[in-house]
Every structure is written in structure tokens, then in C-alpha cells.
Amino acid sequence: MTSPVTTFAASGDGSRMSAFDIDGLRVTVTPSVGGDLNEAAFELACRLSTHDRRVAELEAEVTHLKAERDALKAEIKPPKPSRLLGTGYVRFCGKRMWLLNRRDRGFGEFGYWFESWDELFRHFDVRVVDHGQDEHGPWWSVEPARGES
């Protein structure tokens, strides 16, 4: 973080030095000729001292906008959903939803995780055909939807 800009005499010709500290360094702005540019030196030092804070604000805004963009991109339906080759089984682990290859082995199978049913239906062209509960917990079976291929 930057310190406030201070101004003090630099030489006998009327020029004044404006300075601020940032991360253990001192930045100094001094007019090259006399005191006519003292105000310009002070204004430049003020702009430079706020530059670091503004860059941090802009970087935070960019990070936020990228996250927002990624969330919006995730909601866009793919042009053509992927298709399952056979039956898949949906199980939940906490709030996370898993589409698994087989039901009989619980979570001991290959799978994909999704945030919601909507995400599953957008990424895989499936329909729910059965549900139940076994020793591993509740499950729902999904099969490729009939229609365009």
C-alpha cells in the first residue's frame, strides 16, 4: 500500500520534491528546472501513488468478471449434447451429483459430476427411467433419450 504524497524543498532554485513510499521503496518526482513545475510534479506523484491501488481494483474486477463469464458460459446449452452408450446411474455425494457407469458398485465406478439435473440434461441427452435405493444409497437410472442422433 502507498503512503500519502509529501512535498518538501529540493534545492535553492525554488523546486520542490514530491514523494511517496510503496512496498519499502520511495518514489520521488522532482521538477528538472526551477519551481515552475512544482504543481505538475505533485500531481504526477499523486497519480502514481493511486496507480497501484487502481491496478489492484481493476485486477479484482477482472477476476470477478471472468468468474461471471465462466458461470454464464456454463449455462449455454451445447449445440449437440453428448450421448450415453447405455444406461447411466445418478447418485449424490453431499450436494454433488454423479453420473456413474454402473449401479452395483456404488461410487466405485467411472463417472462425471454435475452441479444439477439441469446441467446433466444439457450435457447428455438422457431421460430418467427408474429409481431406487440399494446398499450404497438412492440412485436414478438414465438412458439416452429417443430422438435425433
The span from the CA of 61 to the CA of 47, in Å, is 20
Domain ranges of the chain: 6-74, 88-144
Distances (CA, A) of 86 to 64, 104, 126, 131, 133: 40, 15, 10, 16, 20
- pTM of the predicted model, to two decimals? 0.47
pLDDT by 10s per residue, the chain, length 149: 678 888 887 677 778 888 988 888 888 888 887 768 888 889 998 888 888 778 888 999 999 999 999 988 877 777 777 778 889 999 998 888 999 988 888 777 788 888 888 888 888 888 999 999 988 889 999 998 876 54
Contacts of residues 113-117 at CB distance under 8 Å and 24 or more positions apart, as own/partner, are none
From residue 50, give the alpha-carbon distance in Å to each of 23, 42, 54: 13, 13, 6
